[in-house]
Amino acid sequence: MTNNEWPLWEVFIRSKQGLSHKHVGSLRAADEKMAIENARDVYTRRSEGISIWVVASANVFASNPDEADSLYEPANSKVYRHPTFYDVPDGIEHM
């Protein structure tokens, strides 16, 4: 990064009370304060949010899509974790 450029931030918005913050995009800003102000201008011009989080993109660590198979395969073989795995006889209610 040259001194002319601002760092990149990821923006998360809570659209209303009771919902979690959701990633909406990114922007550049000199610091976290400016990032929040810019996020307000860019991502909440039509009342899309009531709360903003910004995280420096450099601080986001992501899983590797090439390892998706080995990361998530164990879940696929454990179908018994889902309620549909079990037979419930006709006539049994509230289960």
Cα 50–chain centre separation: 16
| Residue 34 sits in the site that holds other proteins (CB under 8 A) | yes
b/e 21-47 (16+ beta carbons within 10 angstroms → b) = eeebebbebeeeeebeebbeeebbeee
**Nearer to other proteins among residue 62 and residue 75 (C-beta):** 62
- For other proteins, the binding residue among 14, 21, 26, 56 (CB under 8 A) is 26
Interface with other proteins (CB under 8 A) = 2-6, 8, 25-28, 30-31, 34, 41-42, 45-46, 62, 64-67, 69
